[in-house]
Amino acid sequence: MRKLSLIAVSLLLASQANALELAKYPQVFDTGQAVMVTLAPTADGTQALLQVKGLNHPLDSVVFLTEVDDRGNQERDYSTTLDGGRYNMLLKRQGWDGDSYQLYLPDTAGFALTFDEALSKRAKPAELLALYEQQQSQGIQEKLARFDRAKHLQTNKRLLKELDQEASEACGVPLQTRVEWNAIDDQKMKALSIAGYCGEVVNQLASLCEDDASFKAQTIAIKTVECRFGKDMKLREKDGRILFTTEQEAPNQGDFINAFLRNR
């Protein structure tokens, strides 16, 4: 089934690429940091090819077929599928001084864009389309569109380790947060910062230790924090472990944890 679905997606994308009719005039933008963005809309304006060049980034030079979301008042969002979800790569907005464009790429702060008329006149939409089709046949866009669970898992583990280290230094005892990663499905991994939720206990421990030196003595018995997701937020302590059940919609998680730690 997996192979069949990938074949079906590939055929659909290929048919879309072959059916693309690009508008005559593309737009090229400059970030002022040697990063260039080429935007080639389709003739009907519902889609656009978008390419970023000049940046040390996994998306550099890849041509994406973006969907154009017309927000009204000449404002538009240009989105594609990245890492298992929709992602707005380019935003066009209206300001008091005219149009403004902002580029967003994963793991960057974003880039303000300036329209370059000279480069726009030299741009060749047919070449951009040909490159898009070539990359598509190589599966480049499809690979970037798939959810990368291993990458998210590695990032969350790294962030949790950093939070544990900060709390250990603040409280003067070794603290470790453990998560049952196999119990967290891809949807939660995509939508939530698991490290942010599960790391809140050691985050509050660090804050209490930094604010009150006498509190450090209360952390000596704590060895680990075991975190999981459930229907309700719960906290209890057992055999040197803090057993923490978090819930993604629960309000005031930090206050709840802080109060438990102060009154345990």
Rounded to an integer, what distance in angstroms lies between the CA atom of residue 35 and that of residue 8?
Answer: 35
Distance separating alpha carbons of residues 67 and 103, to the nearest angstrom: 15
Average pLDDT (46-61) is 96
Rounded-to-integer distance, Cα 244 and Cα 234, Å: 6
Report the Cα–Cα distance between both ends of the chain, in Å, rounded. 52
Residue 124 to residue 133: CA distance in whole angstroms: 15
Helices (H), the chain: 2-19, 117-122, 125-137, 140-145, 149-171, 186-191, 194-198, 200-211, 253-263
Residue 60 DSSP SS3: coil
At 117-170, the pLDDT tens digits run 999 999 999 999 999 999 999 999 999 999 999 999 999 999 999 999 999 999
Domain boundaries, the chain: 2-145, 149-263
Q: How many residues does the chain have?
A: 264
Q: What's the mean pLDDT in 100-106?
A: 96
Distance CA 262, CA 29 (A): 54
Residue 226 near residue 243 (C-beta atoms within 8 A): yes
Q: What is the pLDDT of residue 17?
A: 47
What tokens appear for 6 in the block? 């990938």
Q: What is the mean pLDDT of residues 220-243?
A: 94
pLDDT at 6 over 50: no
More confident residue, 261 or 15: 261
What tens digit of pLDDT does each residue of 209-224 get?
999 988 999 899 999 9
- Band (111; pLDDT cuts 50, 70, 90): very high
Cα–chain-centroid distance for residue 162? 19
